[in-house]
Amino acid sequence: MTTVSEKIDAKLVKELRDKSGAPMGDCLKALQETKGNIEDAFVVLRKRGIASAQKKAARSTNEGAVGTYIHAGGKIGVLLEVNCESDFVARTEDFQDLLRDIAMHIAASDPRYVRSEDVTPEDMEREREIYRAQAAATGKPAPVIEKIVEGKMAKFYEEVCLLDQPFIKEQSISIKELIAQKVGKLGENITVRRFARFKVGAPDWTVAQTKAVEAAE
């Protein structure tokens, strides 16, 4: 009798491995669960990666690396610090690739904050008031207005917070999910500590760091 694992082609496992970055064994299990459907298997791995990242989120990240990205032509530059638990992981190719990908993403997407928790109360309240006024102008009842406001705030976070933004190289996943995939693969907690983005001729620049860093300093 042919087993489920025998039905899963090795090339399909490798394709999912290249797509997700997850270990081969996890890719095989996900494909077995989804009967060889690579897209569904990718979703399974993404969910597991996020769960794995959440379990490791309380671990201290005192190692890591600083990366840079200079956009073609030298008009935009990014300086980024990403942390992990050990110097060994910080020096791996996977971690360095993540560092470069996030720095490149910041250059392209120009986030203003690292996380939604880092949005200042002033910015948050200003956006809420704008969305509330827009929704109220439609004449909808108060409960509906608040739901509209919350939906628009979620979109706002996606636009301005690095971790909530769709990854520039793969729009189906967020930066948070990209990091979760690496956490699942490398087995260590990984956090973005801070970044700075400069653009030639711009009147100002973006400097962002997590509130946890501000508190520690």
Query: How much is the pTM?
Result: 0.74
Predicted local distance difference test score (pLDDT) of residue 213: 52
Specify whether domain 4-56 bears CATH 3.40.50.80. no
* Residue boundaries of the structural domains of the chain: 4-56, 63-116+161-216, 120-157
Determine the pLDDT at residue 4: 43
If you search the block for the tokens 């394709």, which residue do you land on? 15
CATH superfamily of this structure's domain 63-116+161-216:
Elongation factor Ts, dimerisation domain (3.30.479.20)
Buried b (16+ CB within 10 A) or exposed e, 42-74: bebbbebbbebbeebeeeebebbbebebeeeee
CATH code reported for the domain at 120-157: 1.10.286
Distances (CA, A) of 94 to 90, 178, 187, 190, 204: 9, 12, 12, 12, 33
Residue-level pLDDT at 165:
95
Per-residue confidence in pLDDT tens, the chain, 217 aa: 334 444 777 788 888 877 766 667 778 888 888 888 888 888 887 777 666 666 777 787 889 999 999 997 899 999 999 999 999 999 999 999 999 999 999 999 999 999 989 999 999 999 999 998 988 888 888 888 888 888 888 889 999 999 999 999 999 889 998 998 888 888 899 999 999 999 998 888 888 898 765 444 4
